[in-house]
């Protein structure tokens, strides 16, 4: 298949395939059920399942699976074959509507945060017909939601779908107020830009920290890092280019709109951005993209690292979540148009986002809180842990004119003067970019930039959809009962801006002055995961999510436990890996080197008493002292891990890991890195940063 158009979506049971393979009446009923969200009649489901099976078998498929997204952050699948015995020793290939629509995986081993005891093992998966079935590794995958026997959501897709419905409902109310009767549905759209590192597989296999934790726990800085700024957008090396080409093709087969690829800031770091699509599909696609990035890498002798901070001293990886809201008539509601000042509908949606981000800073912050992401936020490579919003000069001036009831002097686009006359003329954007803002307006969408690279985008988008829906609801309640819509709207916009303008910040978010300024403005600064997560179960946030039926209170409390526990577990694994590496590899290696130095000194003296040995003497003393300190610190770390078990309350425990365990891990690392710098290459047990970062 050389033609891109043939390749694209060839493994997806998409609308075109459905139209072709399904009887017309069935196709119409399926489309209707998708559009209205009504469940599918079993007879119809049987016909759809059969068509899916025939289509899949033609492509060599023998198995099917319900594909779902449990709270582990990765996807899950359990494969069943299509075979069914006929009674005469033969088999036929079967796939029923019941099997398509519902599954019953034994779910007792997925995180449930106490929602499901192991004796209540039953869980259900149910088909999400708004996301197309697809073929992966010779298996027909049916995207599904995943819930417990009692109906509680155990996954990331269910609340995301619920949040879509909520924002649709509230946004439609607003559009009706502006006299728009033709729009039937409002959807949110997402385009996630995905950063990642590629390292050589042979080198990776020699590092337990990469294997167990996805990041290096040790490693002295390479002589060269990213200081020359020569990697960003640099020429892509042949091995990486071959990987990207292969990856693109795999993604295109699954109908994923992989579009842009480039080198990122750090050596060995790259980025892939797809063209945006509806939030639900974008979330499924991003999970598949991460999975394929890893899989395709091994074919090229590479390993793809999706951890937020694989290497100290160079940038880590994030994920920019570009978010907007559009109508089924193709209108982007965050498009300011030519004159935003005269576009009250746009101003209303903009103000709703402003208020939502201000009122729910805590929710946005904690939606990206993980042990991995804590390494980045606020570390001068990613936005700080303080949530604020960048609007740019033009929109800020527009909003000021609304607030102050003054005329707005429209900025004309000006032509760029670059001083070279042969170049075609192009106009300058009315606002520059601000790379340091956690939440930036970028022309006709918002870019939420605090996400870590390995995170499922479902969580942050559940929050975005819900908080903005909540404010739209408040706006609609107020405006629907107003005597005079125009005056009420005018007052509402002004009041919202006045009350929430503190969240707008167009300056440098990396500067220390901003931290002080944000504090004066009363903005939250939740520096770490265990500090942020408790806000999830605050009264305010429980009431938000339960009111809109996104989560029940029980679901929220269980998710809170899962997130806290996962933080502690992550650090526990890292600490155990450290102890293992120090005791099994680092100390024995350093000791061997010390012995060689001693042997050499003795041999030299025996050979001639005139030989000096000050190098050996100084180094042996230094290395011995470092080894002693390292051993002591590692024992301390080991001891702390035993104490961790005493903290039975999840938040207490996570705080202990952060304040005690993680702090000592930093010290262990410092000592080991110092040892590395002073140890001969042939003795050091692991590939170095120079090799890892510059060998691909």
Nearest approach, Cβ of 457 to ligand ADP (angstroms)? Answer: 11
> By C-alpha distance, which of 449, 440, 475 is closest to 352?
475
**Strand duo 439-441 + 277-278: pairing:** unpaired
**Closest by Cα among 325, 320, 597, 616 to 472:** 325
Say whether residue 460 binds ligand ADP (CB under 6 A). no
Residue window 415-444: x/- pattern of binding to ligand ADP, with contact defined by CB under 6 A: -----------------------------x
Task: Rank residues 264 and 616 by Cβ distance to Mg ion and give the closer one.
Answer: 264
Q: Where do runs of H (alpha helix) occur along 501-613?
A: 512-520, 529-532, 539-547, 553-581, 587-607
For Mg ion, the closer of residues 136 and 320 by Cβ is: 320
What angle (nearest 5°) sits at the alpha carbon of residue 23, between those of residues 22 and 27? 65
The site partner of 191 among Mg ion, ligand ADP, none (C-beta below 5 to 8 Å per kind) is ligand ADP
Residue 330: alpha-carbon gap to chain centroid: 27
Pick the closer one to ligand ADP by CB: 65 or 189: 189
Among positions 21, 320, 548, 658, the unique one binding Mg ion when judged by CB under 5 A = 320
Q: Distance between CA atoms of 32 and 362, rounded to whole angstroms?
A: 38
The distance of closest approach from Cβ of residue 433 to ligand ADP in the complex, given in angstroms and rounded to an integer, is 7
Among 631, 650, 632, 378, smallest CA distance to 526 is for 378
Q: Which stretch binds ligand ADP (CB under 6 A): 125-133, 203-211, 321-329, 621-629?
A: 321-329
> Is 274 an interacting residue with respect to ligand ADP (CB under 6 A)?
yes
Nearest-CB residue for Mg ion: 320
Q: Which is nearer to ligand ADP, 283 or 528 (CB)?
A: 283
Q: Give the dihedral sign, CA 188/172/143/72.
A: positive
Q: Is 548 in the site for Mg ion (CB under 5 A)?
A: no
Closer residue to ligand ADP (CB): 97 or 274: 274
Burial zone of 396 (CB within 10 Å; 0-12 exposed, 13-18 middle, 19+ buried): middle
Any contact of residue 324 with ligand ADP (CB under 6 A)?
Answer: yes
Residue 332 sits in the site that holds ligand ADP (CB under 6 A)? yes
- Is residue 16 classed as helix, strand or coil in its secondary structure? helix
Q: Which stretch binds ligand ADP (CB under 6 A): 269-277, 337-345, 509-517, 529-537?
A: 269-277
How many binding residues for Mg ion (CB under 5 A)? 2
Tokens of 519: 């504090």
For 608, other C-beta atoms within 10 Å of its C-beta total: 7
Could you say whether residue 319 binds Mg ion (CB under 5 A)? no
Q: What is the DSSP letter of 250?
A: H
CB of 437 to ligand ADP, least distance (A): 12
- The reply to whether 273 sits near ligand ADP by the rule CB under 6 A is yes
Backbone angles phi, psi at 543, to 5 degrees: -70, -35
Q: Name the token pair of 401.
A: 């004119």
User: Is residue 275 close enough to count as binding ligand ADP by CB under 6 A?
Assistant: yes
Query: From CA 178, how far away is CA 343, in angstroms rounded?
Result: 11
Helices (H), 258-309: 279-299
Q: Which two tokens stand for residue 585?
A: 């590899």
Residue 318 touches ligand ADP, criterion: CB under 6 A: no
In the bound state with Mg ion, the residue whose beta carbon lies nearer, of 134 and 197, is 197
Piece of the chain touching ligand ADP by CB under 6 A; list 46-54, 97-105, 274-282, 681-689 = 274-282
From the number of C-beta atoms within 10 Å of its C-beta (0-12, 13-18, 19+), residue 691 rates as middle
| Residue number with CB closer to ligand ADP (332 or 592) | 332
Annotate each residue in 180-209 with x if it binds ligand ADP (CB under 6 A) or - if it does not, as one string: ---------xxx-x----------------
In angstroms, give the least distance from the CB of 320 to Mg ion.
4
State the minimum distance, in angstroms, from the CB of residue 91 to Mg ion.
Answer: 51
Beta strands in 317-460 (DSSP E): 318-327, 439-441, 446-452
CB 274 within 8 A of CB 257: yes
- Extended beta strands in 74-162, E state: 76-81, 83-85, 91-93, 102-103, 123-127, 133-136, 139-148
> Are 421 and 367 in contact, with CB atoms under 8 Å apart?
no
Give 460 or 530: the residue with its C-beta nearer to Mg ion: 460
411 C-beta neighbours (distance < 10 Å), count: 12
User: Which residue number has the CB closest to ligand ADP?
Assistant: 191
Pick from 313, 332, 336: nearest CA to 323: 332
Stretch that binds Mg ion, among 89-97, 106-114, 315-323, 530-538 (CB under 5 A): 315-323
Alpha-carbon distance of 458 to 155, in angstroms, equals: 10
Residues 176-195 within binding reach of Mg ion (CB under 5 A): 193
215 forms part of the interface with Mg ion (CB under 5 A): no
Q: What are the Cα distances from residue 49, in Å, to 63, 68, 76, 128, 146?
A: 13, 18, 21, 14, 20
Choose which of 218, 276, 545, 551 interacts with ligand ADP (CB under 6 A).
276
Dist CA 311 CA 665 (whole Å): 15
* Phi/psi-derived region of residue 482, left when phi > 0, alpha when psi is between -120 and 50, beta in every other case: beta
Taking CB under 6 A as the criterion, the residue among 309, 445, 500, 669 binding ligand ADP is: 445
Cβ proximity to ligand ADP: between 332 and 525 the closer is 332
With respect to ligand ADP, which residue has the nearer C-beta, 170 or 194? Answer: 194
Closer residue to ligand ADP, CB minimum distance, 271 or 555: 271
Residue 672 contact, options Mg ion, ligand ADP, none, Cβ 5-8 Å cut-off depending on partner type: none
Q: Which does 275 bind (CB under 5 to 8 A by kind): ligand ADP, Mg ion, none?
A: ligand ADP
Compare residues 194 and 373 and give the one whose CB is closer to ligand ADP: 194
Whole-number minimum distance, CB 450 to Mg ion, in Å? 12
Binding site for ligand ADP (CB under 6 A): 189-191, 193, 273-276, 322-324, 332, 444-445
Binding site for Mg ion (CB under 5 A): 193, 320
């Amino acid at each position: 298949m050389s033609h891109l158009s043939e390749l694209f979506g060839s493994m997806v049971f998409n609308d075109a395939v459905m139209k072709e393979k399904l009887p017309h009446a069935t196709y119409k009923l399926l489309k209707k059920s998708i559009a209205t969200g009504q469940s599918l009649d079993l007879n119809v489901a049987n016909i759809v399942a059969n068509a899916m099976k025939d289509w899949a078998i033609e492509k060599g498929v023998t198995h099917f699976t319900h594909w779902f997204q449990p709270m582990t952050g990765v996807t899950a699948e359990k494969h069943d074959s299509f075979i069914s015995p006929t009674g005469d020793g033969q088999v036929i290939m079967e796939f029923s509507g019941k099997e398509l629509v519902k599954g019953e995986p034994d779910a007792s081993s997925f995180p449930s945060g106490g929602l499901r005891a192991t004796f209540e093992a039953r869980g259900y998966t149910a088909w999400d017909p708004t996301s197309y079935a697809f073929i992966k590794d010779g298996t027909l995958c049916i995207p599904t939601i995943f819930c417990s026997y009692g109906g509680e959501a155990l996954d990331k897709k269910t609340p995301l779908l619920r949040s879509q419905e909520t924002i649709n409902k509230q946004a439609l109310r607003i559009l009706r107020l502006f006299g728009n009767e033709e729009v039937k549905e409002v959807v949110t759209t997402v385009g996630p830009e995905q950063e990642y590192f590629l390292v050589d597989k042979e080198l990776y296999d020699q590092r337990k920290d990469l294997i167990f934790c996805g990041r290096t726990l040790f490693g002295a800085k390479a002589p060269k890092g990213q200081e020359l700024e020569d990697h960003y957008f640099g020429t892509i090396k042949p091995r990486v280019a071959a990987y990207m080409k292969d990856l693109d093709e795999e993604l295109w087969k699954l109908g994923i709109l992989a579009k842009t690829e480039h080198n990122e800031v750090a050596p060995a770091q790259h980025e892939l951005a797809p063209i945006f699509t509806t939030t639900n599909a974008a979330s499924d696609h991003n999970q598949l993209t991460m999975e394929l990035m890893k899989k395709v890498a091994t074919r090229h002798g590479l390993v793809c690292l999706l951890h937020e901070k694989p290497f100290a001293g160079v940038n880590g990886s994030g994920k920019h979540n570009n978010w907007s809201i559009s109508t089924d008539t193709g209108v982007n509601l965050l498009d300011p148009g030519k004159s935003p000042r005269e576009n009250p509908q746009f101003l209303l949606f903009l103000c709703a986002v402003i208020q939502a981000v201000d009122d729910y800073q805590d929710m946005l912050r904690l939606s990206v809180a993980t042990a991995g992401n804590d390494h980045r936020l606020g570390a001068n490579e990613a936005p700080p842990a303080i949530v604020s919003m960048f609007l740019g000069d033009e929109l800020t001036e527009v909003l000021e004119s609304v607030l102050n009831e003054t005329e707005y002097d429209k900025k004309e686009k000006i032509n760029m003067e670059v001083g070279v006359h042969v170049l075609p003329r192009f106009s300058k954007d009315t606002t520059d970019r601000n790379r340091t803002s956690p939440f930036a307006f970028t022309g006709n969408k918002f870019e939420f930039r605090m996400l870590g690279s390995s995170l499922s985008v479902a969580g942050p988008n559940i929050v975005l959809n819900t908080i903005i829906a909540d404010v739209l609801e408040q706006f609609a309640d107020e405006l629907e009962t107003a005597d005079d819509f125009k005056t009420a709207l005018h007052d509402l916009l002004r009041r919202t801006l006045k009350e929430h303008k503190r969240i707008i910040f167009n300056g440098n978010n990396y500067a220390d002055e901003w931290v002080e300024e944000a504090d004066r403005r009363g903005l939250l600064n939740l520096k770490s995961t265990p500090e942020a997560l408790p806000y999830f179960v605050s009264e305010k946030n429980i009431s938000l999510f339960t009111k809109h039926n996104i989560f029940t209170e029980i679901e929220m409390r269980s998710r809170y436990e899962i997130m806290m526990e996962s933080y502690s577990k992550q650090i526990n694994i890292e600490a155990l890996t450290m102890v293992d590496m120090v005791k099994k590899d680092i100390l024995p290696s350093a000791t061997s080197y010390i012995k060689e130095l001693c042997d050499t000194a003795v041999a030299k003296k025996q050979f001639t008493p005139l030989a000096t040995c000050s190098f050996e003497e100084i180094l042996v003393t230094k290395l011995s002292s470092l080894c002693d300190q390292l051993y002591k610190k590692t024992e301390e770390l080991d001891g702390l891990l035993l104490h961790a078990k005493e903290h039975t309350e999840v938040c207490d425990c996570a705080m202990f890991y952060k304040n005690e365990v993680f702090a000592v891990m930093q010290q262990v690392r410092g000592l080991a890195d110092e040892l590395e710098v002073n140890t001969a290459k042939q003795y050091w047990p692991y590939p170095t940063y120079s090799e890892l970062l510059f060998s691909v």
